[in-house]
Structures are given as C-alpha cells and as structure tokens.
Amino acid sequence: MTTMLGLQLTGRRVLVVGGGPVAARRVQSLLADAAQVVVVAPQLCEVLLDLHRWGLIEWRVREVEESDLDGAWLVHTATGDRSTDAAVLAWATERQTFCVDAGSGADGSARTPATTQQGDVLVGVVSTGTADPRRTIAVRDAFASQLREGRVDLRHRRAHPGRVVLVGGGPGDVGLLTLAGRRALAEADVVVTDRLGPVAVLDELAPGVEIIDVGKTPGHHPVPQHEIGRILVEQAQRGRVVVRLKGGDPFVYGRGGEEVLACREADVPVEVIPGVSSAFAAPAAAGIPLTHRGTVGAVHVMNGHDGWSSAALTGLRDGSCTVVVLMGVSALATLATQALDAGADPATPVALVEEGTLPGQRVTRARLDDVVDVAAAAGVRAPAVIVLGAVAAAGLLEPEGDAAHTAASSDESVPGAVTMAT
C-alpha cells in the first residue's frame, strides 16, 4: 500500500544521487520547494552544472558513499545503474530515510507523484500498486483540466483576507471566458455580475456562492457606479473573495479602472483578469476581419455615446482604418448623419452585429447613407457592435465569383442591405 503525504522540505537537506537529465528534473522541483539540495555524481549535465555555478546546489564530485546520506531528510537516486541505485536504497532503508528510486518506482520506499497546482492547492497522483507512470500522468492531466476550467469549488473554508478580482467575461459565449476567469469564479465567495457577458456560467457556480446583480440596461442604471464600488469593497472587507464578472474586457468601456481605484483607495487587494472584448469578438464571429491585407490595416474603437472624434472621422473618411462602435445603436442616426456631413463616402459599408457569439447572433449590413432606415426596418436592438469601413462589405472573404453572387443576393432582398442570422 502507498500513503500520500505532503512534505515540507523548505531548508531541509535532500540528497540526489546522479547527474543526468532525470536527476536534473528532480533537483529543479526540489529547489522550487526551497529544499537544500546535495548532488553526488562524478559528472553533471548542463542544467545541473548551471545550478551549481549559480550556487543553488552543493556538488560532491565522486561516486556516492553511505555517509552522503547523513542528515538527509529525503533521498532521490537516479544514476541509471541498478546496482548503485539498489545500494543507495538499502542504505536509506537502514537509516529509516525515505528514498525515491527513479529507475524503479516499485523498489523505492517513496514515490514522486505526478502533480498539478492551482493557486495554493497542490494535487498529486500516485499508483498504490505497481508503478504505472502513463496512467498516473493521464489521471493528473484530467484533474489539471478540471482545475484550469474552474470546474472544482476552490473556495477557502477558513477565514482569509478578502480581495477583489475583476474578470473580463468576454462577449457572451461561455466558451470565450478565459481559463483564468473560470479559475477565479471557482474561488469566489460572491460574484457581482452584469447583464451582459457569459451570464450562463452563473449556473455552474458552487452552491452557496452569493450572486449580486448590478446589471444595466440601455437608459436604466439601477445600481450607480459608486454603489458598485462600495459593494466590492464592503464584501472584500468581510474577508470574502469577490469576483466582479463583467462583459467583454474590464478596461474596454467596462469602467474597470474606476472599480480598481475604489478598491485601492480602501486598501483592498484587487487584480484584473483580461477578457475578450466584444469590439473584436463580435465582428470575428460574424466573419468580419477588422484588418485585412490590401484593404485596411488599422482599427479605431469608439463609444457611440461620446460621438465622433476627429481621428475616427478622418479614418472613416479616408478609409485608413476600420471604425468599431460600441454602445452605438441608440445613437446610430446621429452618428450616420455626422459622418456624412463630415464628408464620409455614402457607400461606406456598415455592419451591425447583434448578440455577437450567442445563439441569437444576427448581422445586418447596409451602406452608410441607408443604414438608419435598414436598421429600423430590421428591428436592430442593443447589444450590438457596429463596424464601419471596407471590411464590413458582404462577401469580402468569399472567392470572387461567390462574392459577386453574395452581393447580388443582397440587392434582391433589401436594396443596399443584407440581414442574416448566424
């Protein structure tokens, strides 16, 4: 039978016998655990030589002797010579010192587990019978995948300092939430969430995780920003891990900077996990490349509520950049009129992507001078991302013959426009 223990090796002597690559891997792992490592071998591989030059290990330049085990809390033997490894194991057994035999896992009095770590949780896998490294690694990898994807409840069960994590949830599709974001959710005691973003992931939270909805809808902000900041700080000061789940990226029109400032002013630890912004994800999901060789090589992202900047208008007018507008549906008429008055080409292609990456995704295309009427006829509603510029043209990524057919089909349905669900 095998009993798994967690060993505290910080500052304690560990003897490693052998100077090859296997021994080097063991030594690097031991150094990460802050062990005092002594290596006994006539020669060392390059990795171990470097560690010795840097003063990280002690090297005894000879064959191993029984006295080398003096003072060792743990022994690893990895010489590749069965008689030498067997002798080291016998000496360790006589001294009642655990020994890992890298050449034969079944013979040693200890085994090195296959490990994976997430935060302050270390998971190890060993075989209780005959050593089976492939199976052990396969099981370890399965656990690692669950941890990376945040599918294990990692909340602390004891008091700990509170903190806030701003998580960029992406444009809506749960599959576009990053692994780092999922891991943060697995550690959360409370989640402060918006209306947008991957709200479906809330159904996967562990029982007992508190959910606070501060979501906004167009023209309706039931929880003002200063109150959201107060909630984050208050929850963290109660010793809770607080995840602020936001749509897109926290620092792209997500007011994440204001929430970071609120936490720092209250001396609450805060970190930011980036997310996939809908400014880039929604067009990509709709098959619209924001840059395309030979067409355009720059992107300008703007907030529709703030109106046009001179840089955005210049880029749109001379075709030097693609313009992406977030939160622009309600301001579409004003934006289109101002762009035309500023000299933008009336035939500039425009695409409106509703519910990007979600099952209800729909793309509506029109010329700049027709887009207001076409959007109204199609019933375009927020949330939607607006793309203006040559890349928004229908058929851009189709072969020439297919592109002509796509354009012709568009003209037959609504003059100058095409609406399609994807």
The whole-number pLDDT of residue 102 equals 85
Residue 286 or residue 194, greater confidence: 286
Give the start-end residues of each E strand in 228-326.
241-246, 270-273, 299-303, 322-326
Round to whole Å and give the CA distance between 48 and 39. Answer: 9
Portion of the chain with pLDDT greater than 70, in percent: 85
Q: What pLDDT was estimated at residue 218? A: 56
State pLDDT tens for residues 300-314.
Answer: 999 999 999 999 999
Q: Residue 60 has what pLDDT? A: 97
262-291 pLDDT per residue, tens: 999 999 999 999 999 999 999 999 999 999
pTM as predicted: 0.65
Residue range 155-184, pLDDT digits in tens: 665 567 899 999 999 999 999 999 999 989
Is a pLDDT exceeding 80 seen at residue 92?
yes
Confidence of residue 412 (pLDDT cuts 50, 70, 90): very low
Hunting for tokens 């191993």 — which residue is that? 64
Catalytic residues: 194, 216
Mean residue pLDDT of the chain comes to 87
Residue 313's pLDDT is 95
Predicted pLDDT of residue 153: 67
- Give CA angle at 165 (328, 285), nearest 5°: 40
Cα separations in angstroms, 360 against 48, 132, 245: 57, 48, 22
Q: pLDDT (tens digit, 9 = 90+) per residue, 327-386?
A: 999 999 999 999 999 999 999 999 999 999 999 999 999 999 999 999 999 999 999 999
Edge-to-edge order in the sheet of strand 98-101? 58-60, 36-40, 13-17, 74-77, 98-101
**Which tens digit of pLDDT belongs to each residue from 210-269?**
999 997 655 555 789 999 999 999 999 999 999 999 999 999 999 999 999 999 999 999
- The model's pLDDT over 316-337, given as tens digits with 9 standing for 90+, comes to 999 999 999 999 999 999 999 9
Ramachandran category for residue 416: left, alpha or beta (phi over 0 → left; psi -120 to 50 → alpha): left
Cβ(366)–Cβ(318) below 8 Å: no
Write the pLDDT tens digit of every residue in 57-79: 999 999 999 999 999 999 999 99
